Amino acid sequence: MNSEKSFKKDSSQYNFVLSELKSDAAKNARYIIVIIHNPFLSCQCSHDAREFSTYHSIFSTYGVDLVLQAHNHNVQYYKVDSIIYQVSGAGGRSHYPLGPTPTPTFFQNDNLYGFSAIKLTDDDINGNFYSNNGKAVSGSDFSMNQKKGSSADSATLPRSPF
């Protein structure tokens, strides 16, 4: 998704996302992962979250598994209605302090630099946050433990025109 263009309800981008989530390709996909720069769900820090209620309802309805977000220079993992929302912004610029945080948060960090590693298998999405020393940070691990779809093949959805 392009968070630099309008993505409010009934925008052309919202309609594109809804259409893709309803498509046969999405219905048959092993996992559905949404990627956006500005976060839907985040602590109150440098960049506020936008449009969570608008998109979470369709993400939940149409089986989105993981939402990868950025923009805030820290790390935050949330799990809402079995969807993982991940803010991964600890790549190398100064950190933004964590402000008031929505629940349920299961991991957050605003002082380590590093990256989030995500592994997709036939029946699970799992991952960790790794600091720059290459070690997984305690408490950052997650696992979806989902069985979805009937084959290990994933469908390729079209690239957003936005």
The tens digit of pLDDT for each residue in 58-114 reads 999 999 999 998 888 888 898 889 899 998 888 877 888 788 778 777 888 889 999
Cβ proximity of 92 and 113 under 8 Å: yes
Where along the chain do its domains lie? 12-108
> What predicted TM-score, i.e. pTM, was given to this entire model?
0.83
> What is the C-alpha to C-alpha distance for residues 39 and 1, in angstroms, rounded to an integer?
11
The pLDDT of 12-30, averaged and rounded, is 95
pLDDT higher at 45 or 25? 25
Angle formed by the axes of helices 12-22 and 52-61, to 10°? Answer: 20
pLDDT of 53: 84
Which whole number is the average pLDDT over 30-48?
84
Can you tell me the mean pLDDT for 139-151?
A: 64
